[in-house]
Amino acid sequence: MTAYYNENNPFAAQWLRKLIAKNLIAPGDVDQRSIVDVQPGDLIGYTQCHFFAGIGGWSLAARLAGWDDERPIWTGSCPCQPFSVSGKQAGFDDPRHLWPEFKRLISERQPSVVFGEQSAAAARWLALVRSDLETMGYAMGAVPMEAASAGADHFRDRYWFVADYNNAEWRTNCPEGNVSVGKDTGRQEEAGHTSKRSPVFVEHASRFGWGKGWTEHEFRSRGFTASVASFRGRQYVECPDGKWRALPPPGVRWLGNGIPSRVDKLRGLGNAVDPRPAAEIIKAYMASI
């Protein structure tokens, strides 16, 4: 057993076990306790530790990037609900703000490398994380990137970060804490600082409200400047990688009638990390060390 998966949702935890059994993600143990109850000693003997593991997106991303199952890595996608533009935006006062618990375990175990992601609306969260990690002796790099820039047909705009504890050469190469990725989004920046946006970049696309029947006029009214074109009754948006991707048809709903456990499955997929941009971040880090 090389990997530790922490996931307190019973359905997602069982999903993880099935993925492990099929060798689709790194072999390991699934711990259904809340991260609040996990102690540093519980992690002894594990090469990989994946917190808020969901359905194993980070483990799959590591494999896609060529990261061996036996190579040490920690990952954690803290709950985005406190900071998501589609949520209540209670921020640091939200009880689901669980970075302090993840920080506690990182501080005690001092893993060599930590990867994570968060909603692109959470610049203040990322600034806190960077401050905490650098106080612990980590060099941290972060970049905002939407899934569409890594081959997905949806935006899912996120901040991605990597923190390195031991590699002095990487610290030297990344003095400002920034990591470049293979498919540039056009807005590599430090958390908490602003920079000029690419004219074709769509920021915080979660504000669209997928499936609500919005039009190009509504798209423009939200302040987005990416190029949009109509073709054969569909609208397409130009993404930072130069490709055009179709916008969802108006009125689309993920009802999933007749699918067993459809609510749990949709929740698992909705909370999951898209492994494609995650793999790009891991590959960028591997190329930099």
Of 94-98, 131-135, 208-212, 278-282, give the lowest mean pLDDT range. 208-212
Helix axes 262-271, 10-21, angle to 10 degrees: 80
User: Which tens digits make up the pLDDT trace of 14-31?
Assistant: 999 999 999 999 999 999
Q: Is 171 exposed, middle or buried, given 0-12, 13-18 or 19+ CB atoms closer than 10 A?
A: middle
- 102 pLDDT exceeds 50? yes
- 3-class SS of residue 19: helix
Residue 154 near residue 286 (C-beta atoms within 8 A): no
pLDDT at residue 68, rounded to an integer? 95
Residue 32 has pLDDT above 60, yes or no: yes
pLDDT at 93: 77
Q: Indicate the residue type of 116.
A: G
One of 3.40.50.150, 3.40.50.300, 3.30.565.10, 3.20.20.140 is the CATH number of 3-190+273-288, namely 3.40.50.150
* The predicted structure's pLDDT at residue 264: 76
The boundaries of every CATH 3.40.50.150 domain in the chain are 3-190+273-288
Find the Cα–Cα–Cα–Cα dihedral 92, 95, 97, 99, rounded to 10°: 110
Give the model's confidence band at 80: pLDDT under 50 very low, under 70 low, under 90 confident, else very high. Answer: confident
Give the mean pLDDT of 153-167. Answer: 82
This prediction's pTM: 0.71
Name every residue whose Cβ is closer than 8 Å to that of residue 11 and which is 6 or more positions away in sequence: 261, 264, 265, 267, 268
Q: Residue 205: what pLDDT?
A: 36
Average pLDDT over residues 51-55: 95
Q: How far apart are the first and last CA of the chain?
A: 27
